[in-house]
Structure 1
Amino acid sequence: MRRASVGLCERLERRTLLSFTFESAFAIGNHGEDKSQAVDVDESGNVYHMAWFDSGQVDVDPGPGSVNVGVGHEDRGVLGTYLSKVDSAGKFAWGFQLFPNDAGRTFGAGLSHDAAGNIYASGSIVKDNIARIFLSKFSPSGEELWSNISSSTKSGFRYFVASDAAGSAFITGWFDGSLDLDNNGTVDLVGDGAEVDGFVAKVSSNGSVEWAKSLRGIDNNAFVSPKAIAVDSLGNVLTTGWFDQRVDFDPGPAEAIASTEHSIATYVLKLDGSGNFKWVRTTESMGTTIDVDAAGNIYTAGNFDGSVDFDPGPGKRLLTSPPPDQADPGAFISDVYISKLTSSGDLVWAIRAADSDSIVAGYPRI
């Protein structure tokens, strides 16, 4: 039996990496394949968990009770997503399947909460090879307040969400073709012919799209693959992800073109609260997560191999991963990096988290 399990650890902030203090753990799952996708913890210690399951029913209550959600039959390949909440003591509060009546396959991707305790869940629904974005808002008691499901001429996939103190939601992801984020008949974004373009958008507390900005690939085979998003105390938006070839990261009339030298690279992008470009920084790595502290310092983590300079400025901070196993020259050794940038995008520090095998930040290998 494979289960998705969740533990609690302290978050990265200020100048140091905080030590692990194990508090609790619980298991949720069925006899199919379950994949944990997002965890969020609010200021009261409530834990919100979102995961995929591929068949049958899932008991989302980790305690002695039973709360089953799911398709109710053994159709492997019918993939759904559930969202659940437990309190700070690990007691089950609520849980349910997202969009149980939709015929598509639901892929949850991101979770966030606002100051009022409302929860935002994002992801995509795939049907007939077309992926539609969803962004849903739930009350602290699990009541659905609104849901937006996009329409698109082609496709989009894996959308990540952050929220601010005013209850606005910020999402990032990628798309192909044209995109109507809230399916109100108004096209919010049109792709520029690259393989896939990235986007960043702000959605008000009532679900209406306030603005949407695209990150445009210049070359035909260029792509942008956003992986995470955060909002600082001033309302600035920070995103990170991967890109290849030449990409214009300024969504306005000016240009901020970055290009890769050898392979996929990481970008860290800062926009103001209106979606205007502030700066972008790049490294030859694969960023997967981002956070920001009260002073506006930015923390990112991801993966790299070989020797990489993590200073996006004129200085140099070289991190080096182990070479491939000489007994197996084809073996790929990847290390985790963690870096800190100032609010202006200057490097403060970068460190390597080593292991004897390949390790992937943000993507636990079971």
Structure 2
Amino acid sequence: MKSFNHCHFTLLLWLISSFLSAQDLKWVYKIGGPTAEYGTGVSINSNQNIYDITSFMGTVSVANNSGFTSRGAEDILIRKSSSLGILQWVKQIGGVKQDVAYDVVASADDHVFIVGTFRDSLFLDTGLILEGSQDKTSSFVLKLSGTGGVLWVRKFDSDIGVDIKSITTSGNGELVVSGNFEGTANFGADFSIISKGGTDIFISKLNAETGETIFLRQIGSSDSEYTNHHCVDGLNNIYVIGEFRNALDFNPGPEEAIFNTKGLTDIFL
């Protein structure tokens, strides 16, 4: 499947900066190691707690020279910091193959939700392992407490692959996730979809308390479509941005809404 994330560097310093109204720097935090690290998301809740996610290989130094070593290929670090940049905790998840976190969102009740992809097995906590496939990409949605404890995790996969790219909370306490998939994808009991051609887009709502799927929408054609991000407004309307090729009907049914590209690919909102 196509990936939008090409931010791989020999050395990347994950910096979080907080500014005053006059743009004065208040603090900077660094995560680094001898190989490749990249920060992929940050979220702040109403209590001014800061959560960020990083993917890394090898050994990285976080705070007070404490080191974290990946179990194989890329692993994931989840950090919680105060508004002053004081580290509260760090949690590592990952397996022997590539694991990538793409997005994070913190809720007002100080829970945090992370989405990403993995292959084979994903080690989440002592004795807690999420099983996937060795030859295809599966996706996860993970909910942690404010102290870093695992509250629940959900796996979404297909016979070819599922990439969850974005997650948000909504005003009615639900989660909205979006991403890309190929083949026949399973999003929980009574929620499965089949791609119409190459890669299609999915938008799904989850119960934030349980992680169960409550809504699923597909955007697709005989060609390939991709999304990397969405957002939700105060009225719980969902806005999705992405790209498509050739022709795409955004409203299959009697009142179709077909758009045609002017070149190789066009952007939609």
What is the aligned counterpart of 2:211 among 330, 341, 345? 345
Matched, 1:147 2:12: no
Q: Is the 8 A contact 1:215 1:249 kept in 2?
A: yes
TM-score by length of 1: 0.56
Tell me the percent identity.
20
Partner of 1:176: 57
Partner of 1:267: 140
Alpha carbons of 1:342 and 1:173: their partners in 2 closer, same or farther (altered >3 Å)?
Answer: same
CA distance in 1, matches of 2:80, 2:92: 12
Partner of 2:224: 358
Count matched residues: 222
What is the aligned counterpart of 2:120 among 232, 235, 245? 245
Matched, 1:316 2:181: no
SS of the residue aligned with 1:151?
coil
Partner of 1:162: 43
Matched, 1:137 2:18: yes
What is the aligned counterpart of 2:130 among 249, 257, 263? 257
Over the aligned positions, Cα root-mean-square deviation in angstroms equals 2.2
CA distance in 2, matches of 1:320, 1:345: 22
Q: What do residues 341-363 of structure 1 show as CA deviations (whole Å, max 9, x unaligned)?
A: 10211110111012453221117
- Kindly provide the amino acid, as one letter, of the partner of residue 169 in structure 2: V
Q: Is the 8 A contact 1:132 1:155 kept in 2?
A: no
Q: Is the 8 A contact 1:233 1:296 kept in 2?
A: no
Deviation at 1:152, TM superposition (A): 1.7
Deviation at 1:199, TM superposition (A): 1.4
Deviation at 1:225, TM superposition (A): 0.5
CA distance in 1, matches of 2:42, 2:151: 20
SS of the residue aligned with 1:154?
coil
TM-score by length of 2: 0.75
CA distance in 2, matches of 1:158, 1:192: 15
Partner of 2:94: 216
SS of the residue aligned with 1:223?
coil
CA distance in 2, matches of 1:210, 1:338: 33
CA distance in 1, matches of 2:65, 2:171: 36
Partner of 1:24: none
CA distance in 1, matches of 2:14, 2:204: 30
CA distance in 2, matches of 1:146, 1:293: 30
Deviation at 1:304, TM superposition (A): 0.6
Partner of 1:198: 76
Q: What do residues 139-193 of structure 1 show as CA deviations (whole Å, max 9, x unaligned)?
A: 3443322111223243311331000112221001211222223xx5331x51243
CA distance in 1, matches of 2:123, 2:30: 27
Deviation at 1:238, TM superposition (A): 0.1
- Give the structure with higher Rg (CA): 1
CA distance in 2, matches of 1:133, 1:213: 16
Q: Is the 8 A contact 2:47 2:110 kept in 1?
A: no
Partner of 2:258: none
Q: With a CA cutoff of 8 Å and minimum separation of 6, indicate the structure with the bigger relative contact order.
A: 2
What is the aligned counterpart of 2:106 among 226, 231, 247? 231
241-250 or 225-234, larger mean C-alpha shift: 241-250
- Kindly provide the amino acid, as one letter, of the partner of residue 257 in structure 1: L
Unmatched 5+ stretches in structure 1: 1-36, 38-106, 108-123, 324-332
Partner of 1:207: 85
Q: What do residues 189-208 of structure 1 show as CA deviations (whole Å, max 9, x unaligned)?
A: 51243111111110111112
Q: Is the 8 A contact 2:166 2:179 kept in 1?
A: yes
- Kindly provide the amino acid, as one letter, of the partner of residue 130 in structure 2: I
Alpha carbons of 1:303 and 1:146: their partners in 2 closer, same or farther (altered >3 Å)?
Answer: same
- Kindly provide the amino acid, as one letter, of the partner of residue 264 in structure 1: T
CA distance in 1, matches of 2:24, 2:221: 43
Alpha carbons of 1:320 and 1:248: their partners in 2 closer, same or farther (altered >3 Å)?
Answer: same
Deviation at 1:279, TM superposition (A): 1.0
Unmatched 5+ stretches in structure 2: 230-241, 244-265
